[in-house]
A and B are shown apart, each in its own frame.
Chain A
Amino acid sequence: MEKTDLLQGTLDMLVLKTLQRGALHGYDIARWIQQTSEDALQVEEGSLYPALYRMERRGWIQSRWGVSQNNRRARYYELTQTGRRQLQAESANWDRLITAIGKIMQTA
């Protein structure tokens, strides 16, 4: 299957969506996005972290140190109230965008 670069700005939305499931550490977030998209989305894994930090700075997510399944110290991220609202706004936006683009593509 061909791989697609992530649209700019959509990484934030995907992360927020992923975190809807609960607190996760960075590695799980990356894996989950890849697996769910059946490896269609190409995420440079490291770039996830600056994005996480930025979202934390904006107050969308919060983090704490916890213990992973294999008993190692790992940093867990979870959604805040602001984050939930942000996710709603972004999904709505996304839906509109997709519909609009879909309409244009069908006319051609």
Chain B
Amino acid sequence: MRTAFRNLLARIRALIAPAAVQGDIREEFQFHLDMCIEEKVKAGMSPEAARLEALRQFGNQTTLREKGWDERGGGFFEILLKDLTFGVRTLLRKPLLTVTVLLTLGLGIGANTAVFSVIDATLLAPLPYRQPDRLMTLWEELTTHGQAQVEFSPANYLDVRRQSRSFEAIGAWLETRVNLTGVVEPQRLSGMFISDNLFGILGASPIIGRGFLPGEDQENAQRVAILGHGFWQRGFASDPKIVGRSIQLDGQSVTVVGVMPEYFSFPKKAIDLWIPLRMSPDQASGRGDHYIRVIGRLRDGINMSEAESEVRAIAKALEDRYPRTNDGVKMQLVPLEEYAFNEERPALVILFGAVGLVLLIGCANVANLLLTRANERGREMTLRTVLGAGRGRLLRQLLTESLLLGLLGGFLGLLLGFALVRALGTYIAEALPQAAGISLDARLLAYTLGISLVTGLVFGLIPALRVSRTAPGSSLRGLESQLASGPGAGRNQKILVVAQLALSFVLLSGAGLLIRSFANLVAVDPGFRTEQVHVVGVELPFSKYETPEARWNFNDQLLDRVRSLPSVRSAGVISFVPLTRSAVFFSFSIEGRSLPGDMDLPQAVYRVISPGYFETMGISLLQGRHLSNSDNESALRVAIVNRTMATRFWPEGAIGRRLKVGALDSPNQWMTIVGIVADVRQKGLDADAEPQLYVPYRQDHRGFIAPSEVVIRSNLDAAALAPALRREVRAIDKDQPISGIETMAAVVSRSVAGPRFRTLLLALFAGIALMLSVIGIYGVVSYGVAQQTREIGLHMALGAEPRKIVGDVLRRGLKLSLAGVAVGFLFAAGLARLLRTMLFQVEPLDITVFVAAPLLLLLVSVVACYFPARRAARLDPSTALRIG
């Protein structure tokens, strides 16, 4: 270490004060010579003879001084500088080659930088909590329903929280929406109910004010809230005196006690405000509904499996104690770090692999180009060897050149990578909101620098080793021809090209599979009309619209007003539109079939709707009748079911049958089925429709399932519709905000943002790979033709037809690409298996993809080879024979 430091100092000294270092060497040599002469004179030689003898004994001073200078640190920067200048000159002398190499590297490194920046901002970014690896999320598992990883029921959560000894603390969270009222422009906010200890568990604290105090989540405690940084900036102009101020949430006064820091988010997305999670005794004792998310911090010295077995034991005890509700309810732990990105990780890992392949393909191309150039430079290298340059010296020069290329390419890649991230900005933001704020950080820079250097080494080493292996003894002339036609000259290139084509095939087939899958996905009929149907959120605060009547009246007025807008063709309200929030499932009993005390009831997605909903959404009525305004609170209870529900539970005919929410002995009223509608996709386009149950909104008293979204059929666009809607809503209640308005097409599109993102990227990378491979095979075949100019000329002079020449060249290219496809097939099949979980209605070894991808590869290879082939066929035999 000290030696390395001293050497660096010596190098720097040689760089900034070369005269001093050289003077030292000169003085040392002179001292030696003087001593030597002195001795010889003493022994009786004449001074002149002594001087000559001393010089002879000493050796060639110039060479020695140079060697000494190199050893004394003079060499390093000097050689580097010399090599760099020389490298730059060489690159400038072949601008086309240089541009090709730099673009190739730029694309490869750029794609890597782009994907890494996304990974950097998501998977690699440490979660912003204290010791995030000790944080565990807890989930229930409803084995009787085959549902893994569902939320906790409140009572189960409280029991685990009380009984578990493996955790320092256990807390809960629950996302919600609240309305900011009492301001000029009411707003709908994203809120989160949290247990009073949640921030403590995460190790996060507010930048202003305080966190929640113990007991602030009790029912009778003072109402308080903590603001998110973004909302504090946006809504209160970063008012530093916000703490202690009172704001109106859903018409109720709440005191702001703190503001969270900017970087804080939990679990993933930004939240406008946090409110203590309060539960009424009724709620707190419920075990049937699962909606609470639970997190705990492991106690020191306890590992995950110990904690999990304890939690499982607690679950078992609860099963025994509450068989009615807890039968088959298990519990499991998922580390927060895993939970945070469990959906995105596989796709990102595959994309990362894909860009790695793209870069490898790029490296192969560049290595090929440099090999070709190295062969051309054989003469230069030989000359330098003859002039005394050692093998190491040549190797160093060549590597300096390729590292220079690598770094320049890396710089270009950084720019291209950022351009790519920017170009894909909206797709990234949709698919991975956490990656929206990608910025240049040290890790990203280090990564790009690292792969640039490694790339430079990888593609530089093969040609460099080849060139510097040149035997210095061979004559210049002989060496050159040996390099040009030696058996090894073309082989390396061919291997590289086959490897490239194989890797391209892997990417092409992967992209093909995802594209097919995505096409299948978007071709799925969601079951509703997507064009000209707008959806807007109007969530009534429970505290203000406490009674069902108040909510019914509001929605009646709202529908009247909206329907009377000139551009509106129809409108309806619903508790939640498909493909957005997670659905509310209710269990139900069937008249004449369910038994009293029956625990294992069937479940259906439960929605309340107004008349006009199906018509607006274009959901067709298959049987029976639509709802009408007379289906109100004083009329007979009715329901509409979807086709799946009807055929699954009443294959003999559903119309006129009766069912009720909950168990047979529950106080809920019987509902008569009056209509059957088509299925709609609820969870996603790739998920089959589940039983769906619709109930007229005036026949449901439950607050939490009340209509909160309005669907409107209108040929106006959202921007034109929004002001009118806002005006109508405010005319009814000046404090009532509405959320952003969007079309159902946008809702559908958003639901496939993830698949779209990965398909787009993989297709893009496969395209780049294909392009690079085409350049690669073109280069090798062209080079082969150029080398064989003489031979081809001879063939033609002997009467070979141009067609045969073209055929020969094409065959050579085709052989390479066939070899590439053959090798690639094995790897492609492997990748396809990795993609399996991301495929929708496509087999991993889809026949279309595995026929189309090789065909495409062969086709472009043939096209790429056609140009050199034509050039060969147009050779003038007499000229060709004279060359070389």
Contact of B36 among A25, A27, A44 (CB under 8 A): A27
- Chain B residue with minimal CB distance to A30? B32
- Chain A CB within 8 A of B704 CB: no
- Chain B CB within 8 A of A57 CB: yes
In this complex, which of A27, A45, A49 has the most chain B Cβ atoms within 10 angstroms of its Cβ?
A49
**1/0 contact trace for B8-38 toward A, CB 8 Å?**
0010000000000000110111011011101
- Chain A residue with minimal CB distance to B73? A57
Contact of B32 among A44, A45, A50, A82 (CB under 8 A): A45
Stretch of B55-63, B398-406, B425-433 lying at the A interface: B55-63
Within 8 A of A (CB), among B714-766: none
Stretch of A9-17, A70-78, A92-100 lying at the B interface: A70-78
In the bound complex, residues from chain A placing their C-beta under 8 Å from that of B3 are: 57-59, 82
A56–B32 Cα distance when bound, in Å, is 19
**1/0 contact trace for A30-72 toward B, CB 8 Å?**
1000000000000011110110011011110000000010101
Q: Indicate if the CB atoms of A59 and B68 lie closer than 8 Å.
A: no
- Chain A CB within 8 A of B161 CB: no
- Chain A residue with minimal CB distance to B34? A72
A78–B28 Cα distance when bound, in Å, is 16
B17 to chain A, nearest CB (A): 15
B331 to chain A, nearest CB (A): 62
A47–B32 Cα distance when bound, in Å, is 12
**Residues of A contacting B: mostly:** helix
Answer whether A50 and B67 are a contact pair too, CB < 8 Å, given A26-B28, A57-B10, A73-B31. yes
Contact of B28 among A44, A57, A58, A75 (CB under 8 A): A75
A50–B3 Cα distance when bound, in Å, is 18
**How many residues of B are counted as interface, with CB atoms below 8 angstroms from the partner's CB atoms?**
28
Q: Indicate if the CB atoms of A27 and B35 lie closer than 8 Å.
A: yes
A72–B27 Cα distance when bound, in Å, is 11
- Chain A residue with minimal CB distance to B36? A27
**1/0 contact trace for B53-93 toward A, CB 8 Å?**
00001111100100110111100000000000000000000
Q: Indicate if the CB atoms of A53 and B68 lie closer than 8 Å.
A: yes
Q: Indicate if the CB atoms of A53 and B31 lie closer than 8 Å.
A: no
A45–B37 Cα distance when bound, in Å, is 13
Q: Indicate if the CB atoms of A27 and B31 lie closer than 8 Å.
A: yes
- Chain A residue with minimal CB distance to B35? A27
- Chain A residue with minimal CB distance to B10? A57
Answer whether A75 and B24 are a contact pair too, CB < 8 Å, given A27-B32, A46-B58. yes
A30–B54 Cα distance when bound, in Å, is 13
**1/0 contact trace for B399-418 toward A, CB 8 Å?**
00000000000000000000
In the bound complex, residues from chain B placing their C-beta under 8 Å from that of A59 are: 2-3, 6
- Chain A CB within 8 A of B7 CB: yes
B538 to chain A, nearest CB (A): 78
Q: Indicate if the CB atoms of B71 and A26 lie closer than 8 Å.
A: no
Answer whether A49 and B68 are a contact pair too, CB < 8 Å, given A44-B59, A59-B2. yes
In this complex, which of A27, A44, A75 has the most chain B Cβ atoms within 10 angstroms of its Cβ?
A27
Q: Indicate if the CB atoms of B31 and A49 lie closer than 8 Å.
A: no
In the bound complex, residues from chain A placing their C-beta under 8 Å from that of B29 are: 46, 49
In the bound complex, residues from chain A placing their C-beta under 8 Å from that of B61 are: 46
In this complex, which of B10, B28, B57 has the most chain A Cβ atoms within 10 angstroms of its Cβ?
B28
Q: Indicate if the CB atoms of A74 and B64 lie closer than 8 Å.
A: no
Q: Indicate if the CB atoms of B36 and A45 lie closer than 8 Å.
A: yes
In the bound complex, residues from chain A placing their C-beta under 8 Å from that of B36 are: 27, 45
A47–B65 Cα distance when bound, in Å, is 10
- Chain B residue with minimal CB distance to A72? B31
Q: Indicate if the CB atoms of A54 and B24 lie closer than 8 Å.
A: no
Contact of A46 among B2, B6, B59 (CB under 8 A): B59
A70–B25 Cα distance when bound, in Å, is 20
In the bound complex, residues from chain B placing their C-beta under 8 Å from that of A30 are: 32
Q: Indicate if the CB atoms of B35 and A47 lie closer than 8 Å.
A: no
In the bound complex, residues from chain A placing their C-beta under 8 Å from that of B28 are: 26, 49, 74-75
In the bound complex, residues from chain B placing their C-beta under 8 Å from that of A57 are: 3, 7, 10, 71-73
Within 8 A of B (CB), among A73-90: 73-75, 82
Q: Indicate if the CB atoms of A25 and B31 lie closer than 8 Å.
A: yes
Contact of A50 among B2, B10, B27, B68 (CB under 8 A): B68
A61 to chain B, nearest CB (A): 11
B828 to chain A, nearest CB (A): 51
A73–B38 Cα distance when bound, in Å, is 16
A53–B35 Cα distance when bound, in Å, is 20
Contact of B57 among A45, A58, A72, A75 (CB under 8 A): A45
- Chain B residue with minimal CB distance to A75? B28
A70–B70 Cα distance when bound, in Å, is 30
- Chain B residue with minimal CB distance to A80? B3
A54–B3 Cα distance when bound, in Å, is 12
- Chain A residue with minimal CB distance to B6? A59
- 9 A-B residue pairs with Cβ-Cβ distance under 8 Å, sorted by A, are A27-B36, A45-B57, A46-B59, A46-B61, A46-B64, A49-B29, A57-B7, A57-B71, A73-B27
Which residues of A does B touch, CB under 8 Å?
25-27, 30, 44-47, 49-50, 53-54, 56-59, 68, 70, 72-75, 82
The 9 A-B pairs at the shortest CB distance, nearest first, are namely: A59-B3, A53-B71, A46-B59, A50-B67, A46-B58, A46-B64, A27-B35, A44-B59, A27-B32
Beyond A57-B73, A58-B3: 15 further Cβ-contacts under 8 Å?
A: A27-B32, A30-B32, A45-B59, A46-B29, A46-B59, A47-B64, A49-B32, A50-B64, A50-B70, A53-B72, A54-B71, A57-B3, A72-B31, A72-B34, A82-B3
